[in-house]
C-alpha cells in the first residue's frame, strides 16, 4: 500500500498569494484576446535611472564580480544606505552594524519574524494591511492578533484598544506608513506614540517603509523618534522609490543587536546578492532630489486620471493619500463585486480591498503603475460599461 505524502501543516495555514492567483486569471483572459488593463499590482512600469543601469552593465563585465559576496553586503552599499537615511530622514545609522541589505523588504518580513518570534508568541498585524504580514506570521507559528484600522479612525491604530489586548503575550507589531493599501501618511505624533507603546510593553515595532518618497513631500522614518532604535526595526526598499522592483534590493535598519539577530537568520537562508547589483544600488541611493521630483511628476499626472476613475465609479476617497495607489470606498459596499464587474465587463483589473483584510471589504484599490494613456483608456472602458 502506498503511503500518502502530505505537506507540512504550515502550508495548510496559508493560501497562494492573491496576485499570484489573480494574475494567472488575467493572463488567461489576455490569451483569449481580452486585453485587460491591469490597475492591480504596484510594480513600477518605468526604468531605474540611467546611471544605475549603466553601473550594473559595466560592473557585470568585471570578471571578479561573479563570485559569492558577503552576507552583510558590500561596504559601498551599506555606506550608501546609511548616507541615504541621513540625507533623507536625518537619521544616523552606523553602516557597519546598524544596516543590513535585503533581497527586497518582503524577504525581510520573514527574516524579522524568524528572528523575533517563537511558536506561540503574539504578533500584532494591521487590518487592513499587507497580506504578507499575516501569511509569514502563520508560517512561523505565531499567534496572530489583528488590530483594526478604520476610515472613521483615520486608518490609525486605536491605542486604547491595543492596551486591552494580552500584551504580555505579544512580542512584535507590524506597522506601515504611508499605509498600504489606504495611502494614509505617517505623522511624527503617530510614530512617537507607537515607539512609546513598544517601549512600555517590550514589543518590537517593525515598520515597513517603502512608500515614503511617492507623492509625499515629507518622507518620515520611524527611526527619527529619539530612542526608536532601541525597540524598532525599519525596512525600506528600492522597489517603489527607484523603479527597481525586479532587482529585489531592500534594507533593514535598527540597533546593532537586532541587526545581528536578523543576519543570523538571513545568512542561513541565502548566499548574498550579485555584486554588480549592489554596486548599481549604491549608485541609486546617491541620486539627488531631482530624481524624486521627476518620478513624482509622472505619478501626479496619473493620479489625476485615477481620481477621475474613482469619481466615475462613485467611490469616495481621501485626496491626501500618499504612495503608489488610490484607495476608494465603493458606493454599494461590495468591493469584490465591483472588482469582478470591472474585470469581466470593462476589462479593467483593480484590487478588491478584501485582499488586505475584512476592514477593506467595502473598498477597491487602483495602482498608478501604468501609463497615463492606459489609465485614460481604463476610464473610457468604464464609462462605456456604465452606458451599456
CATH number at residue 110: 3.40.640.10
Report phi then psi at 329, rounded to 5.
-90, 125
- Pick from 288, 321, 343: which residue ends a domain? 288
The sign of the torsion formed by the CA atoms of 250, 254, 258, 259 equals positive
Q: How are strands ordered across the β-sheet holding 143-148?
A: 99-102, 250-253, 232-237, 204-208, 170-175, 122-127, 143-148
* pTM score above 0.85: yes
Over the stretch 357-382, which tens digit does the pLDDT of each residue have? 999 999 999 999 999 999 999 999 99
CA distance 207 to 232: 7
Whether the per-residue pLDDT at 57 is higher than 80: the answer is: yes
Strands (E) across the chain are located at: 37-38, 99-102, 122-127, 143-148, 170-175, 204-208, 232-237, 250-253, 325-329, 348-349, 351-352, 363-367
Classify residue 4: in a domain, yes or no: no
- Pick from 219, 253, 288: which residue ends a domain? 288
C-alpha cell at 173: 507589531
Strands (E) across 189-302 are located at: 204-208, 232-237, 250-253
Please indicate, yes or no, whether residues 225 and 364 belong to a single structural domain of this protein: no
Whether the per-residue pLDDT at 28 is higher than 70: the answer is: yes
Over the stretch 231-255, which tens digit does the pLDDT of each residue have? 999 999 999 999 999 999 999 999 9
Whether the per-residue pLDDT at 19 is higher than 70: the answer is: no
**Locate cell 549592489: which residue?**
278
Classify residue 104: in a domain, yes or no: yes
Please indicate, yes or no, whether residues 180 and 302 belong to a single structural domain of this protein: no
Please tell me which residue, 10 or 209, carries the higher pLDDT value.
209
CA distance 45 to 317: 24
Please indicate, yes or no, whether residues 191 and 273 belong to a single structural domain of this protein: yes
Whether the per-residue pLDDT at 327 is higher than 80: the answer is: yes
Closest CA to 124 of 141, 142, 106, 140: 142
For residue 34, what pLDDT band results from cuts at 50, 70 and 90? Answer: confident
For residue 307, what pLDDT band results from cuts at 50, 70 and 90? Answer: very high
Cβ-based burial of 217 (10 A; exposed 0-12, middle 13-18, buried ≥19): exposed
- Pick from 224, 258, 288: which residue ends a domain? 288
Amino acid at each position: 500500500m502506498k503511503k500518502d505524502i502530505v505537506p507540512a501543516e504550515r502550508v495548510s495555514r496559508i493560501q497562494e498569494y492573491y496576485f499570484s492567483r489573480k494574475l494567472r486569471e488575467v493572463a488567461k483572459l489576455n490569451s483569449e484576446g481580452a486585453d485587460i488593463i491591469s490597475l492591480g499590482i504596484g510594480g513600477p512600469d518605468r526604468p531605474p535611472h540611467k546611471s544605475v543601469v549603466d553601473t550594473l552593465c559595466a560592473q557585470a563585465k568585471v570578471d571578479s564580480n561573479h563570485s559569492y559576496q558577503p552576507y552583510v553586503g558590500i561596504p559601498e552599499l551599506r555606506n550608501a544606505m546609511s548616507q541615504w537615511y541621513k540625507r533623507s530622514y536625518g537619521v544616523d545609522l552606523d553602516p557597519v552594524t546598524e544596516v543590513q541589505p535585503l533581497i527586497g523588504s518582503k524577504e525581510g518580513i520573514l527574516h524579522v519574524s524568524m528572528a523575533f518570534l517563537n511558536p506561540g508568541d503574539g504578533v500584532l498585524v494591521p487590518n487592513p494591511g499587507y497580506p504578507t504580514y499575516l501569511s509569514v506570521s502563520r508560517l512561523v507559528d505565531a499567534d496572530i492578533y489583528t488590530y483594526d484600522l478604520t476610515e472613521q479612525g483615520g486608518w490609525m491604530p486605536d491605542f486604547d484598544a491595543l492596551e486591552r489586548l494580552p500584551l504580555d503575550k505579544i512580542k512584535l507589531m507590524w506597522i506601515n506608513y504611508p499605509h498600504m493599501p489606504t495611502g494614509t501618511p505617517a505623522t511624527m505624533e503617530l510614530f512617537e506614540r507607537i515607539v512609546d507603546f513598544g517601549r512600555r510593553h517590550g514589543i518590537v515595532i517593525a515598520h515597513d517603509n517603502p512608500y515614503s518618497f511617492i507623492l509625499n513631500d515629507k518622507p518620515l522614518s520611524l527611526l527619527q523618534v529619539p530612542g526608536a532604535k532601541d525597540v524598532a526595526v525599519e525596512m525600506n526598499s528600492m522597489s517603489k522609490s527607484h523603479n527597481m522592483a525586479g532587482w529585489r534590493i531592500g534594507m533593514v535598519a535598527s540597533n546593532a543587536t537586532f541587526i545581528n539577530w536578523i543576519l543570523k537568520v538571513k545568512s542561513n537562508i541565502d548566499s548574498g546578492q550579485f555584486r554588480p547589483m549592489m554596486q548599481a544600488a549604491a549608485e541609486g541611493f546617491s541620486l539627488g532630489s531631482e530624481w524624486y521630483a521627476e518620478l513624482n511628476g509622472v505619478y501626479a499626472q496619473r493620479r489625476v486620471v485615477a481620481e477621475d476613475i474613482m469619481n466615475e465609479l462613485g467611490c469616495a476617497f481621501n485626496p491626501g493619500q500618499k504612495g503608489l495607489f488610490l484607495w476608494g470606498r465603493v458606493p454599494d459596499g461590495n468591493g469584490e463585486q465591483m472588482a469582478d464587474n470591472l474585470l469581466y465587463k470593462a476589462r479593467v483589473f483593480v484590487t478588491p480591498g478584501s485582499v488586505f483584510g475584512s476592514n477593506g471589504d467595502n473598498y477597491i484599490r487602483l495602482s498608478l503603475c501604468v501609463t497615463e494613456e492606459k489609465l485614460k483608456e481604463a476610464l473610457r472602458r468604464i464609462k462605456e460599461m456604465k452606458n451599456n
